[in-house]
Structure formats: C-alpha cells, structure tokens
Amino acid sequence: MTAYPHLLEPLDLGHVVLPNRVIMGSMHTGLEDRLSDLPKLAAYFAERARGGVGLMVTGGYAPNRTGWLTPFGSTLTSHRQARKHRLLTDAVHEAGGRIALQILHAGRYSYHPFSVSASALKAPINPFKPRALTDRGVLKQIKAYVDCAALAREAGYDGVEIMGSEGYFINQFLSERTNKRTDRWGGSPENRRRLAVEIVRQTRERVGEDFLIIYRLSMADLVEGGQTWDDVVALGKEIEAAGASIINTGIGWHEARVPTIVTSVPRAAFTSVTAAFKPYVKIPVVTSNRINLPQVAEEVLARGDADLVSMARPFLADPEWVLKATTDRADEINVCIACNQACLDHVFAKQKASCMVNPRAARETELQLLPTRRTKSIAVVGAGPAGLAAAVTAAERGHRVELFEADAEIGGQFGIARRIPGKEEFAETIRYYRRRLELTGVKVHLGRRATVEDLAGFDEIVLATGVVPRVPAIPGIDHPTVLSYAEVVREGKPVGERVAVIGAGGVGVDVSEFLTTPVSPDLEAWKREWGVGDPTKLAGALAVPQPEPSPRKVYLLQRKTGKIGAGLGKTTGWVHRAALKNKQVEQLRGVNYERIDDDGLHVTFGPKHEKPQVLAVDTVVVCAGQEPVRDLADALRATNRPVHLIGGADVAAELDAKRAIEQATRLALTL
C-alpha cells in the first residue's frame, strides 16, 4: 500500500500508458543549444527516465530562427538535427522513459533584433522591439511549428509540448495587452485565439493520432491586460477540439511583477487555478508551480485539482524523485528549494544550468559517482553545506568518513537561512543530508570542536570550518544595541522597533525581511501581499496588492552607491527588492558609518562626510559579510598534515552555498 495512490496511478492516454502522474516539466539547461552537447543531454534525461518519471519534456526548441530565445539558441528545423536527436530519444526509451520536445517560439521575448510578434510592442524585459507579422508571416510561423512537430516525431520523441504560456509568442497573440491587430489574428477573442488553435489543429493533422500534443495554456497571465477567464476557458475548449492530448498549466508572464516559482511562493500556490479550469475539458490537465514533494503532489491530485503534476526543477535536484516516492523513501529525496541559483540564474546569465543541491545535474557525464578503489579514512570538519556534501559524497563512494561539528546541529549557514520567512525550504536540504549521513554510515560528532589531535590518523582531512560574521571597525561597535545577524536570526535575541541593518548583501536583505515579516504568510495572505486575485473574476488574476504592514521601522544601509541587493540572483533579486518595498524598508546608499552610541547610528553622506544623519534606532544589526575560520587549517599545516580547505573557510568573500556544495562534491569525487 503506497502513501501516494493518486500520484502513482497509471494514466492511459490511448496509444501510450504513463506509469504515474508525474511529468518532468520543461527546463532549459543550455545543453540544448549545441548538437555537440546532445550526449550530455541524453545522459541527463536517461538518468531521470531510470528514476521513473512518467513523461519528460525537453527545454524549449525554437521552430525557426525568428523564434530563437537567444542568438544561435536551440532549434529543431532540419532532418539532420532530427537524426542527431535520436541519440537522446533512444537513450530515454532504453531507460524505460518517454519524452516530448517543447516547441518554444519566444516572440517579443526573443533576445535578438529580428524578433516578431502580433504587434510591434517592446517587452519591458527585453531591449529589442519585435516586428509585427503580416498575415503571410503569421501563416509561416504556424507552418514552422507544424514542421518542428513533424521533425520531433522523426527524431523519435513521444510528443511535443506547444508552449502557449509565460508571455511567449502564442501568449502574445492571445492577450489584448500585446495583440493590437485588427485582422483575422486580432481584435475579437476568437481572432486572438486563432493562432494557438491553428497550430494545434494543423500539428495534429500532420503528426497523426499516436503522438502526444501537450498544450501549455496560460491560465493566469498575472499582467495588466491579461486574458479573462472566459478567454481562458474558451481557449481550452478549442485547444481540446483541435486535437491536444493534454493541457498543461502556465502561470504568469516573465514580465509579471508577481513571483510564481521562487522559494517564498507557498507550495502548490497555483493549483486552485488548474482546479477551476479542469471541469471545462475532458482531456487530462496538468498542474504546476512550487510542487516539490510527493506528499504535496498527492494532496493536489487527491483533491482533484488536476490529473497530473508537472515539476521541472525538482528533477534537477533529484533524478530519483519518483523512484524514492514509489519505494516509500520520500525522506531520501533531495528537494528543490526553489532558490534558482544554479538553474534559472545560470540560464539568464547564459551559463549551463545545474542545481545548487545537486551539482551533478546536467553534468552526469562529467561528475560520475564511482566507487573508490581504495577505501580511506576521511575526517570532515564542519557540517555546513560544504562539509555535508563532502562527507556524504565520499562515504557514498565507499570511504570511512567521520564528520566533526562544533554546533549541536548540522546545517551551518543553512541553519540561519531556514529561519528566514519564505526560506523554510532550506530545512529540507538539512533533512536530506541528515538522512544521507545515516544511510551512508558517516560517523557524526556533534557539539565537538575538532582539534589537531582528533584528526591524527586520518588519511585525508577536509576542512569546511566555515565563517564568522565580520565585525566592522565602527566606533561604538561594542555598544549593547549592536547585534550580529547570527545572534538575531539563530539565537533569537530581542530586537527593538526601530532597527538599522548594516550591510545590504544577501544576508542584510534576508535579515530585513526577517525583521519586517514576523511569520511567513499563509497562501491567502501571500496572495493578498502580491495582488493575486481570483482568476475566474479578474482579468489576468491581478488584484491590488495589500501588503501586511511591518511591525518595525527598518533602515537598510550600504556604503556603495549602487542598487541595494545588486549581487542577488537575477531571477530572485527583484522579488526581494519588491518585498522590502512592500514593508517600507528605508534603503540608504552611499553611507559612511561614523559611530554608534545611545542616540543611535550616526552616519554621513558624501565623499567629505558632509551630510550627517542620526538614525535613532534601538538596535543595530551587523550584516557586513564574513571572515573565514581557518585556525585548524593553520595549525594542521604547521604539523605538515595535508588538508583540503573548502566552502566559506576557503573563500569567505563569496560565501555561496552553490560554490561550496559543488567544490565539496568535486573534491569528494577525487579522494
């Protein structure tokens, strides 16, 4: 008897039976852009097929060059390419899986000067203005989709996903916001739907019945001028009639000011939208967004919100997600914490995607977990992300590992992050490592500050001793009103009603959110905060945001004159900045810190410190970066013992869990 009867129930689609209700959603990895990377992509998908997922969808492939996401980005436009893709589809089928190719035409989101759209309207997130297509031009785009689908079939794919959401090309025709046409492709809702429906209808005609057509339908645009519920429902019915096999849910355009996938979005936040849509069609409907655990997915399906769930990033984090759910080992799942740090942030920076908590993702051919030929005894000091990753990876390869941690619990900086409202998911990573330490038999010494003597006799010593908060040389820094971020977040020391936060890096921003948001909002409160309304009543599901007022007045300060939080991730920084604005956090840039005394924090502005200001605060919280902890490294080196220094202890300036976990994993694969 399984704990997930709905999730693991097969689904008969006529010509194919899916073994369960889990779809690995489309996620661009960057490996799609070069045919020479196909072996890597094949290994990536084959590993996930072996992990038991019902159906997978590739990253987006443009049906022609105007639809490119970026110059020379992925396309499927020739028989030669289709032949090469056989490598990938064969690998997936040999591993027992099924895979559909996503056809993604970016329209006005194309990052190049030859982009096209319904109307010549520039997107706010793209410097390039698209050209409005002529009637003939529209027909050419439809043909490109249909040809691409036929090539996907030739390449051995089990189907295609036609990307109709997230504000891309098709979505641009559907919405009045971007479609100002007056011909047969614009004006009335029927005319705006014509492109989407024709693409599906002509594709079905071309590919035959025994080929999956998934249509990703934008059920809540989350932008001004987005589609009404009547538009959405009518489109769904017409897409079904045109021959789609499955309808997938899309939520929010890329230019929307509502976060839809970052970690602070509550789990399964948008499945109610799919639930509202589902009664209008008979074909299976998929829901998505912030579903990351089997229990969450099971609840969604048991409630009847959808027939299937789609998850993209959770399969980067753990290729065996389904296998672990099936074999009652959900506590072993390496959960996607929705940080975007190594996946979407990489894609936007034109780097290959991977995963912060699983650096092997999309690097399966490079980072192979092979058993060691010679078992060694390895000491790992420090149980933060770096130490944990090193310990479990080394142990999994067959080494005898002992882990020393001075604290009473494992987790390091993640123990701070998980206490920040909206970052609770970080606790899942700690849970995952705790379980993996048990399974791999690592001997864990908690509350034990390792000494040189403790480490005698080990073949290898890995030091992941981490960092301590930096104490800036500001007069009065030892005043009783001053606290470090660790004292505030980890130790819960009392903080007054007026607070100055020194340092506006990732930690300063987190602490400001911690101080202004006493508890994480539940789903309804979160929707009010960001202005997510009832999609059946409000066009684009947009309501007026009603943020909860902060219980404190917070000033966030930095010496630099640039944007606050400039170093934050591309896909998450804007959410943090908007959250600070919602809570009326006052951001002060170009600050000189003069002193701290009973009156508060004295600062000046200007190169000659000419403009003074006193911030009459009760508490000053220092978030001025970190210093590495290397005492043990220095002591061991003095005794000529070789040590491996990793994580924050190695480079504190870029204290960064993504780098730490990757560095630790790579090291452990070589020991």
* CA separation, residue 654 to residues 537, 579, 628, 648 (Å): 46, 24, 11, 7
Identify the CA nearest to 161 among candidates 111, 217, 201, 206.
217
Which of 340, 558, 582, 626: binder of ligand SF4 (CB under 6 A)?
340
Distance separating alpha carbons of residues 133 and 69, to the nearest angstrom: 17
* Using rule CB under 6 A, residue 508 touches ligand NAP: yes
Distance separating alpha carbons of residues 270 and 285, to the nearest angstrom: 14
Tell me whether residue 199 or residue 353 sits nearer to ligand SF4 (CB atom): 353
- Active-site residue, from 145, 168, 432, 555: 168
* CA separation, residue 354 to residues 33, 55, 247, 262 (Å): 15, 20, 27, 16
Tell me whether residue 574 or residue 605 sits nearer to ligand SF4 (CB atom): 574
* Using rule CB under 6 A, residue 437 touches ligand SF4: no
Assess whether 168 carries a catalytic annotation.
yes
Tell me whether residue 249 or residue 263 sits nearer to ligand SF4 (CB atom): 263
Which three-class secondary structure state does DSSP give residue 627?
Answer: strand
Nearest approach in angstroms of CB 425 to ligand NAP is: 13
Which three-class secondary structure state does DSSP give residue 401?
Answer: strand
317 binds, among ligand SF4, ligand NAP, none (CB under 5 to 8 A by kind): ligand SF4
Distance of CA 659 to the CA centre of its chain: 16
Nearest approach in angstroms of CB 92 to ligand SF4 is: 20
Report the 10 Å Cβ neighbour count for 323: 16
Tell me whether residue 120 or residue 477 sits nearer to ligand NAP (CB atom): 477
Stretch that binds ligand SF4, among 119-127, 197-205, 336-344, 660-668 (CB under 6 A): 336-344
Tell me whether residue 53 or residue 150 sits nearer to ligand SF4 (CB atom): 53
* Using rule CB under 6 A, residue 559 touches ligand NAP: yes
Which of 155, 338, 403, 416: binder of ligand SF4 (CB under 6 A)?
338
Residue nearest to ligand NAP (CB): 505
Tell me whether residue 9 or residue 594 sits nearer to ligand NAP (CB atom): 594
* Using rule CB under 6 A, residue 472 touches ligand NAP: yes
Tell me whether residue 269 or residue 623 sits nearer to ligand NAP (CB atom): 623
* Using rule CB under 6 A, residue 336 touches ligand SF4: yes
Distance separating alpha carbons of residues 79 and 340, to the nearest angstrom: 35
Per-residue binding string, ligand NAP, 563-602, x by CB under 6 A, is: ----xxx--x---x--------------------------
568 binds, among ligand SF4, ligand NAP, none (CB under 5 to 8 A by kind): ligand NAP
Report the greatest alpha carbon distance in the chain.
81
Distance separating alpha carbons of residues 171 and 217, to the nearest angstrom: 8
247 binds, among ligand NAP, ligand SF4, none (CB under 5 to 8 A by kind): none
Count of residues that bind ligand SF4 according to CB under 6 A: 14
Stretch that binds ligand SF4, among 2-10, 269-277, 352-360, 394-402 (CB under 6 A): 352-360
* Using rule CB under 6 A, residue 357 touches ligand NAP: no
Residue 532 in tokens: 């997510």
* Using rule CB under 6 A, residue 504 touches ligand NAP: yes
129, 135, 136, 138 alpha-carbon torsion, rounded to 10°: 60
* Using rule CB under 6 A, residue 53 touches ligand SF4: no
Which of 311, 333, 339, 623: binder of ligand SF4 (CB under 6 A)?
339
Tell me whether residue 342 or residue 462 sits nearer to ligand SF4 (CB atom): 342
Tell me whether residue 40 or residue 204 sits nearer to ligand SF4 (CB atom): 40
Which of 122, 237, 493, 560: binder of ligand NAP (CB under 6 A)?
560
Per-residue binding string, ligand SF4, 294-323, x by CB under 6 A, is: -------------------x--xx------
Which of 502, 532, 615, 668: binder of ligand NAP (CB under 6 A)?
502
Residue 102 in tokens: 């996503």
Residues within window 606-665 making contact with ligand NAP, judged by CB under 6 A: 623-626, 654-656
Which three-class secondary structure state does DSSP give residue 287?
Answer: strand
> Contact, 100 vs 157, CB < 8 A?
yes
Long-range contacts from 299-306, C-beta under 8 angstroms, 24+ separation: 299/268, 300/268, 300/271, 301/6, 301/7, 301/21, 302/6, 303/271, 303/275, 304/275, 304/278, 305/271, 305/272, 305/274, 305/275, 305/278, 306/249, 306/271, 306/274, 306/275, 306/278
Place of tokens 């080394």: 394
Stretch that binds ligand SF4, among 9-17, 269-277, 355-363, 584-592 (CB under 6 A): 355-363
656 binds, among ligand NAP, ligand SF4, none (CB under 5 to 8 A by kind): ligand NAP
> Contact, 232 vs 281, CB < 8 A?
no
Identify the CA nearest to 237 among candidates 200, 288, 287, 183.
200
Q: DSSP of 70-139, one letter per residue?
A: STT--B--SHHHHHHHHHHHHHHHHTT--EEEEE---GGG-SSTT-EESSS---TT-SPPPEEPPHHHHH
* Using rule CB under 6 A, residue 425 touches ligand NAP: no
| Interface contacts to ligand SF4, rule CB under 6 A | 313, 316-317, 336-343, 355-357
| Interface contacts to ligand NAP, rule CB under 6 A | 470, 472, 502-510, 558-560, 567-569, 572, 576, 623-626, 654-656
Q: Which residues are catalytic?
A: 168
